[in-house]
A = this chain, B = another copy of it.
Amino acid sequence: MPKIEIITIGDEILIGQIVDTNSAWMATELNNAGFEITQITSVHDNADHITNSLNEALERVDIVLFTGGIGPTKDDITKQTLCEFFKTKLVFNEQVLEDINTLLKHRSRALNELTASQAMVPENCVVIRNKLGTAPITWFEKDGKIIVSMPGVPYEMKNVMSTEIIPRLKEHFVTSTIIHKTVQVYGIPESALALKIESWENALPENIKLAYLPHYGIVKLRLSGYSDDMLGVEFLLNQQISKLTGILGNDIIAYNDEPLEKNIGLMLLSKKLKIATAESCTGGNIAHVITSVSGSSQYFTGGIIAYSNEIKINQLKVPAKYISDFGAVSRQVVEQMAKGVKTVTGADIAVATSGIAGPTGGTEYKPVGTVWIAVAKDNSVLSREFKFNGNRLQVIERATQTALYMIREFVIS
């Protein structure tokens, strides 16, 4: 498989101001296209550092993809650095200027000298047009290797990768097949799972690799098959997954790499059930996660975020006495929240949360991380109390994922 190194340029990544989400997207897309990402490297906006990382990468790989560091401002020096590396000079490119003008017109903005300077491009390279931004993409070839510099702005990068760079790379290199299949296992800790499937794992064919990816109570088992024979490797993978099913049975909750909310959506659709949410401590995140799935309007009616007790009482018909007697974070309140929102929205299933996300608000008996979750369907309610670890966002995220598991339990039961 042709090997690729991704080099991201920008101080903001190295001081932790932004998380590099581009590389994961690129890796997924390139992997599916038959390329192997050998390394991802993040370096400063510094000419020596960029040059050095490029030299090191060219020792290892066939293709180097740079993202970032090509904005119009002074701190961005990638273009000049590549010019020096390839011993060429900047020349004016009329097409790029035209593209910039079109883009600015569309955004009702005027051309200024900084933006205009984006039309200066290295002489000895292929210039690829950027339809969504002012920085053009530059494509260099050296000793059979390809070096591309593209913007770090995610939607510009994604557009140019999909429409230009991946298709061109596929023309340049012979790509072989790699297929990933993921099985999701719920409720077995990673090491116990590893022992349970040890003999199966040891007997895996040589061209199938296994990885364990634990995530909030789920372990994703990822099988990667490498071969030039696509049908053959697909068959092999399916054979192994069928054996695995014999060992794990119902502990397998999905045969794909989709998030739980997507799998739940498919279940709700197939059972023609509609769902609603009543959230206190999760503050709308369960609804957000459910509605992040395209087509969710077919099975999600809506929800009520009941942060204040008044909303719990007035909108969700929680008796005020429950709150005074048992507290807002209690079985009684969360069960009524679920029933209440089910009635109000006319949904078939409802989920509710009430808890203490922290960092303040905890007590001796109900410490930060205490969360009650209830799921109501027909006339029955399932409710459980949890003590989640972590900071505010982690408690919210864990409560959200756990609520989704509980919805799944109810939907399949």
Q: Are B292 and A392 in contact (CB under 8 A)?
A: yes
The smallest beta-carbon distance between A302 and chain B, in angstroms, is 4
- Give the nearest-CB partner of A393 in chain B: B292
Q: Is A412 an interface residue (CB 8 A)?
A: no
- Complex partner residue of A302 from B38, B306, B346, CB under 8 angstroms: B306
> Which B residues are in CB contact (< 8 Å) with A155?
389-390, 394
Other A-B pairs, 6, CB within 8 Å; known A292-B396, A315-B344? A40-B41, A41-B41, A132-B389, A294-B360, A300-B307, A311-B345
With A19-B24, A390-B155 already in contact, the answer to whether A13 and B40 are too (CB < 8 A) is yes
Q: Which residues of A contact B (CB under 8 A)?
A: 11-21, 23-29, 31, 37-45, 49, 53, 56, 71-75, 107, 109, 112-115, 132, 134, 153, 155, 180, 189-192, 194-195, 201, 209-214, 220, 222, 224, 257, 277, 279, 282-288, 290-292, 294-297, 300-308, 310-311, 314-315, 344-346, 357-361, 389-390, 392-394, 396
Mostly, the A contact residues are mixed
With A15-B180, A39-B43, A304-B303 already in contact, the answer to whether A194 and B283 are too (CB < 8 A) is no
Complexed CA–CA distance, A389 and B210 (Å): 38
> Which B residues are in CB contact (< 8 Å) with A114?
191, 194-195
Complexed CA–CA distance, A14 and B224 (Å): 13
> Which B residues are in CB contact (< 8 Å) with A396?
288, 291-292
> Which B residues are in CB contact (< 8 Å) with A393?
292
- Give the nearest-CB partner of A394 in chain B: B155
With most chain B CB atoms within 10 A of its CB, the pick from A18, A29, A71, A287 is A287
The smallest beta-carbon distance between A68 and chain B, in angstroms, is 11
The smallest beta-carbon distance between A360 and chain B, in angstroms, is 7
| Number of copies of this protein chain within its complex | 2
Q: Are B195 and A295 in contact (CB under 8 A)?
A: no
> Which B residues are in CB contact (< 8 Å) with A14?
27, 37-40
- Give the nearest-CB partner of A117 in chain B: B191
Complexed CA–CA distance, A107 and B187 (Å): 13
Complexed CA–CA distance, A131 and B65 (Å): 39
Q: Are B134 and A191 in contact (CB under 8 A)?
A: yes
List, sorted by A's number, 26 A–B pairs whose CB atoms are closer than 8 Å.
Answer: A11-B211, A12-B222, A13-B23, A14-B38, A16-B23, A16-B25, A16-B28, A19-B19, A19-B20, A20-B20, A20-B24, A40-B41, A72-B190, A72-B194, A73-B194, A74-B201, A107-B189, A277-B284, A277-B305, A283-B287, A284-B291, A287-B288, A287-B305, A294-B359, A302-B306, A302-B307
The smallest beta-carbon distance between A83 and chain B, in angstroms, is 20
- Complex partner residue of A18 from B24, B195, B359, CB under 8 angstroms: B24
> Which B residues are in CB contact (< 8 Å) with A306?
302
Q: Are A39 and B40 in contact (CB under 8 A)?
A: no
> Which B residues are in CB contact (< 8 Å) with A359?
294
- Give the nearest-CB partner of A43 in chain B: B39
> Which B residues are in CB contact (< 8 Å) with A23?
13, 16, 20, 42
The smallest beta-carbon distance between A44 and chain B, in angstroms, is 7
Q: Are B213 and A17 in contact (CB under 8 A)?
A: yes
- Give the nearest-CB partner of A392 in chain B: B294
Name the 6 nearest CB pairs between A and B, nearest first.
A283-B291, A284-B287, A16-B28, A16-B27, A284-B284, A40-B42
> Which B residues are in CB contact (< 8 Å) with A27?
13-16
- Give the nearest-CB partner of A344 in chain B: B315
> Which B residues are in CB contact (< 8 Å) with A49?
38-39
> Which B residues are in CB contact (< 8 Å) with A277?
284, 305
The smallest beta-carbon distance between A368 and chain B, in angstroms, is 10
With A12-B222, A392-B294 already in contact, the answer to whether A191 and B115 are too (CB < 8 A) is yes
